[in-house]
Amino acid sequence: MPITKSAKKALRQSQRRRVRNIQRKKKIKDLIKEVRNLVAQKKITEAQKLLPQVYKALDKAARVGTIKKNTASRKKSCLSKLLKLSD
């Protein structure tokens, strides 16, 4: 357990950040899963409409440091490749 005042504050901050990061990652995973399910069901137009939301979530997570920039880029690339192949 933290002793000093600054260590207590750092603990509170890290707990808040952890919750935010988990929420962002969960949102990304859910959106990607939804796109993949739509592609599996041959609903390509619906998946393409959902793509900007996925890109926005990935870019936001990369910008604030939840995930790395290249990870976001790789996920976006894989999704766009999946949609292009399923056309």
pTM for this predicted structure: 0.87
| Domain-embedded: residue 60 | yes
State pLDDT tens for residues 31-82. Answer: 999 999 999 999 999 999 999 999 999 999 999 999 999 999 999 999 999 9
| Domain-embedded: residue 54 | yes
| Domain-embedded: residue 2 | no
Give, in order, the Cα–Cα distances in Å from 22 to each of 10, 17, 48, 68, 78: 18, 9, 25, 14, 22
Length of the chain: 87
The domain that contains 61 carries what CATH number?
A: 1.20.58.110
Structural domains in the chain (count):
1
Is the CB of residue 82 less than 8 Å from the CB of residue 54? no
Is the CB of residue 30 less than 8 Å from the CB of residue 39? no
Per-residue buried b or exposed e for 69-87, using 16+ beta carbons within 10 Å of the residue's own CB = eeebeebbeebeebbeeee
Q: Which domain holds residue 65?
A: 7-86
| Domain-embedded: residue 25 | yes
| Domain-embedded: residue 1 | no
